[in-house]
Amino acid sequence: MNYDTGMALDDFHTRPVFDEDAVRRDMAAIAGDLHATAVRISGDDPDRILAAGRHAAAAGLDVWFSPFPYDLGADELVDYLTGAAERAELLRRETEREVVLVLGCEMTLFCKGFVPGEGLPGRTATMTDPRTWATEEGRAPLLAGFQRARDTQRETVAAARKLFGGRLTYASGAWEQVDWDQFDIVSVDAYRDEGNAARYAEELRAYHRFGRPVVVTEFGCCTYRGAADRGGLGWTIVTEDRTIPADYERHEAEQVLYLHELDAVFEAEGMAGSFWFTFAGFELPHRPDDPAHDLDLASYGLVAMRPDGGWEPKLAFHAVAALYGGQPAR
């Protein structure tokens, strides 16, 4: 299960209020109700991750300590991830649960200096424009950026190994070219959508060639009809004024079907584990009487956040609990 401790994305923060009592209750639900054995804890503040990790370990969960650097350059990345490694090692020494350090997430997209474009919107536009990939001239800047990313990754891994004694991985995007020989686990954020559905299983299978355990660090879909076809871009239906267009219909069963279909793929393809994205979209409240402001439609969460800060389980919450209730959770 993925769990967000908060991150600032331009002018939006995914969790401005961080209440440790709420975190403790959430971890108890993830372990007890959802039958998870591990939680991937993400955020841009390593101290928040450490605090949440302590509650997770106390609940009996292994912790994937996942600092999320946003819009940092190469030099900043090394310093930031080194600091996170120190905190991850502190947690590892405190608990008998396994702590895995995830050294960043899709950094060619979320960090600067690797893919052309200003901020996340600009880099996303570059990556999703077919013209970028159509010619050698269009691909050249990307390939050079991917090489810079690999060079930076070598630095961060070397620095982290000096400080952290557990297993290392990286939450990669499917487009990224990662030197997996330096990591202990191969991890990929693997959202299925209408564009990759036909080759999805084959692409996952290919990761076994690196000779490491393969884990899906993110999969999931939002809570409206048709969200499964949009995969990792399902959240983009939210408009600039934070409303939901009228043509999107709430459909909690969308998540349930997606869960069951992908779990079957992961089982067939020998994935060592998978993390649903995510437990909650903390800044996407559910307003059932106000469809235009029912931002939970754009949430990947298994729970719907109420405006008062509490939450209610969605259909997918119960589906996960039933799916993993009789077996080790992925």
Summarised one tens digit per residue, pLDDT across range 249-273 is 999 999 999 999 999 999 999 999 9
Within 13 A of 273's CA, how many CA atoms are on the CB side?
20
pLDDT grade, residue 326 (50/70/90)?
low
- Alpha carbon distance 20, 26 (integer Å): 10
Tell me how far apart the alpha carbons of residues 312 and 16 are, in angstroms, rounded to a whole number: 20
Residue 13 has pLDDT above 90, yes or no: yes
Q: State yes or no: pLDDT of 193 exceeds 90.
A: yes
What secondary structure does DSSP assign to 222-249, as a single string? -SBTTHHHHGGGGGGGS-TTS---TT--
Beta bridge pairs of residue 4: 42
pLDDT the model gives residue 10: 85
Mean pLDDT of 97-118: 96
**Mean pLDDT across the stretch 32-40?**
98
Strands 8-9 and 99-105: unpaired
Determine the Cα–Cα distance for residues 218 and 190; give it in Å rounded to an integer.
6
Looking at the 3D structure of the chain, how many domains does it have? Answer: 1
How far is residue 227's CA from residue 237's CA, in Å, rounded to a whole number? 10
Tokens of 193: 């959508």
Round the average pLDDT of the chain to a whole number and report it: 96
Q: What is the pLDDT of residue 87?
A: 99
Helices (H), the chain: 20-32, 46-58, 74-94, 107-110, 119-128, 130-134, 136-163, 200-206, 227-230, 253-268, 315-324
For position 11, what pLDDT does the model report? 83
Domain of 93 in residue numbering reads as 2-326
| For residue 95, cis peptide bond before it (omega within 30 degrees of 0) | no
Query: What CATH code is carried by the domain that includes residue 272?
Result: 3.20.20.80
Is the pLDDT at 328 greater than 50? The verdict is no
**Sheet holding 186-189: strands in order across?**
2-4, 38-43, 62-67, 99-105, 168-172, 186-189, 214-219, 273-276
- Helix axes of 20-32 and 46-58: crossing angle, nearest 10 degrees: 50
Q: What pLDDT is stored for residue 330 in this prediction?
A: 45
Residue written as token pair 């393969």 = 214
Residue 329 pLDDT greater than 50, yes or no: no
DSSP letters spanning 76-138:
HHHHHHHHHHHHHHHHHHH-SS-EEEEEEESHHHHSSSSSSSSHHHHHHHHHH-HHHHHSHHH
Query: Is residue 327 very low, low, confident or very high in pLDDT (cuts 50, 70, 90)?
Result: low
Q: Which residue has the tokens 């939002």?
A: 222
pLDDT digits (tens, 9 = 90+) for 148-166: 999 999 999 999 999 999 9
For Cα atoms 98, 149, 119, give the angle at the middle one, nearest 5 degrees.
100
Residue 329 has what DSSP assignment?
A: -
Radius of gyration of the chain (CA): 19
Per-residue pLDDT at 325: 84
The four Cα atoms 203, 207, 209, 213 give a dihedral, to 10 degrees, of -150
Q: What is the mean pLDDT of residues 138-143?
A: 91
Which of 41, 31, 38, 40 minimizes the C-alpha distance to 6?
Answer: 41
- Portion of the chain with pLDDT greater than 70, in percent: 98
Distance CA 142, CA 146 (A): 6
Q: β-pairing, 168-172 with 99-105?
A: parallel
